Amino acid sequence: MKRLLISLLTLTLVFSTSVFANGNKETKESDSTKSDFTVGVVTDTGGVDDRSFNQGTWEGSVKYAEEVGGDAKYLQSTADADYVPNLSTFADEGKTLITAPGFLFDKAIEEVAGNYPEQKFLILDTVVSGFDNVVSATFSANEGGYLAGIAAAMQSKKEGATKIGLVLGMDFPTMQLFEAGYEAGIHSVDPNLELLTEIPNSFMDTQKGQTLASKLYDEGVKVIFSVAGATGNGCIKEAKDRRVNGQNVWIIGVDRDQYEEGIYDGTNSVILTSDLKRVDVAAYDVAKMANEGNFPGGQEIVFDLAKGGVGLPDENPNLTDDILTAVAEATAKIVSGDIVVSTVPSRVK
């Protein structure tokens, strides 16, 4: 039942791959499909193994490189000041495609794309205009957030809670899309439920994430949507600690299916579900376009619910059938246009 219902949510690619500590993934020389394709991924400060946005981007890039017998490499940024040097390093190497996972790269991409007009770039989660060598991949995060909001609201009501939590990494329009959809999904279930939003202003402060999660749980929240990269790992840790101590609290993961990260007793997970932003799909698709001579330079590609760019996982062990049914129904209505999800949360309107 669960598999059947949730399969309606997204058209997704299912794969697993390895993250290599040295930043490289090369195919074997004996591979008959060996090609000259090369992709370079520059991570933000969250790192390539953040179990979130950076990691998903890397995995999608590696997947395509492996399929064509090419080469994938990443450079990890330890500060914002590393963005331009790291992007420039890959440009000097003449990568087929250079990918930057996140809106924090917008200014750096503009600078480096201008310096290397023949180099192809992909930036995820924001739009960089005016450069024929840059593709912008954006995501309808409000649509995925709406589904997460339905799950959070229905589970919270089961737990007897009237407050629902959100930890939002930074307060930018791109991030606010998650909040707007989440809020709308919550209120579609019950307009009287209260959304409490905490903003750590960091994607890599695990301790702050744990502190904010603790604050929300202490205020009576049972479900927290963590949209904060590696900072969100602190939210997961707090939920796991409380579960060990007998408290029935939940986290909704983001970007990747974080169910495994939420396992606290060898079997059960604190992850209610995850709101997928399929950066892996975007990284894969644009790498394929670049390699096949179809690079859509200067364009924005929107990965929405209909395209499988956002949504919940195919497998959701902790969602009950009534929640899955509600999510499937909302998915169909969003895809058909019967539901148009807000893009701005009420607190900033």
Same domain, 103 and 89: yes
Is the predicted pLDDT of residue 37 greater than 60, yes or no? Answer: yes
212's tokens: 């904010």
Strands 194-198 and 163-168: parallel
Same domain, 294 and 340: no
3-state class (DSSP) for residue 235:
helix
Same domain, 135 and 53: yes
Q: What span, in angstroms and rounded, lies between the C-alpha atoms of 173 and 66?
A: 35
Angle at 78 between CA 75 and CA 82, to 5 degrees: 65
Same domain, 153 and 135: no
Model confidence over 182-202: pLDDT tens digits?
A: 999 999 999 999 999 999 999
Partner residues linked to 288 by β-bridges:
none
Is the predicted pLDDT of residue 2 greater than 80, yes or no? Answer: no
Question: Would residue 308 count as lying in a domain?
Answer: no
Domain span at 49: 10-139+278-303
For the stretch 180-194, what's the b/e string if a residue is b when 16 or more beta carbons lie within 10 angstroms of its beta carbon? bbbbbbbbbbeeebe
Same domain, 149 and 250: yes
Contacts of 142 (CB under 8 A, 6+ apart): 177, 178, 180, 181, 184, 341, 342, 343
CA–CA distance from 314 to each of 123, 134, 242, 274, 321 (Å)?
A: 27, 32, 27, 10, 13
Question: Would residue 218 count as lying in a domain?
Answer: yes
Q: Specify the CATH number for the domain of residue 179.
A: 3.40.50.2300
**What are the phi and psi torsion angles at 348 (to 5°)?**
-115, 5
Question: Would residue 314 count as lying in a domain?
Answer: no
What is the predicted pLDDT for the residue at 99?
98
Same domain, 284 and 160: no
What is the predicted pLDDT for the residue at 336?
97
User: pLDDT class for 5, splitting at 50, 70, 90?
Assistant: very low
User: pLDDT class for 23, splitting at 50, 70, 90?
Assistant: low
Number of domains in the chain: 2
Same domain, 272 and 292: no
Same domain, 264 and 203: yes
CB 165 within 8 A of CB 156: no
**What are the phi and psi torsion angles at 26 (to 5°)?**
-120, 145
Question: Would residue 39 count as lying in a domain?
Answer: yes
Same domain, 332 and 188: yes
Question: Would residue 311 count as lying in a domain?
Answer: no
Question: Would residue 95 count as lying in a domain?
Answer: yes
Is the predicted pLDDT of residue 30 greater than 50, yes or no? Answer: no
Dihedral, CA atoms, 86, 51, 38, 82, nearest 10 degrees?
A: 0
Of 155, 36, 172, 39, which Cα lies nearest the Cα of 104? 172
Q: What span, in angstroms and rounded, lies between the C-alpha atoms of 339 and 322?
A: 19
What is the predicted pLDDT for the residue at 33?
60
Q: What span, in angstroms and rounded, lies between the C-alpha atoms of 5 and 328?
A: 6
Q: What kind and span of H or E run contains 48?
A: none
Mean pLDDT of the chain: 91
Q: What kind and span of H or E run contains 197?
A: strand 194-198
Same domain, 237 and 282: no
Same domain, 146 and 256: yes
What is the predicted pLDDT for the residue at 29?
40
Partner residues linked to 251 by β-bridges:
224, 271
Q: What span, in angstroms and rounded, lies between the C-alpha atoms of 124 and 113?
A: 15
Q: What span, in angstroms and rounded, lies between the C-alpha atoms of 349 and 346?
A: 5
Model confidence over 102-155: pLDDT tens digits?
A: 889 999 999 999 999 999 999 999 999 999 999 999 999 999 999 999 999 999
Same domain, 285 and 224: no
Question: Would residue 216 count as lying in a domain?
Answer: yes
pTM, 2 dp:
0.81
Q: What span, in angstroms and rounded, lies between the C-alpha atoms of 160 and 165?
A: 14
What is the predicted pLDDT for the residue at 123?
98
In the chain, what percentage of residues exceed pLDDT 90?
A: 81
Here the contacts of 133-136 (C-beta below 8 Å, separation 24 or greater) are: 133/297, 133/298, 134/109, 134/297, 134/298, 135/286, 135/289, 135/295, 135/296, 135/297, 135/298, 135/299, 135/300, 135/301, 136/299, 136/300, 136/301
Question: Would residue 185 count as lying in a domain?
Answer: yes
Q: What span, in angstroms and rounded, lies between the C-alpha atoms of 41 and 72?
A: 8
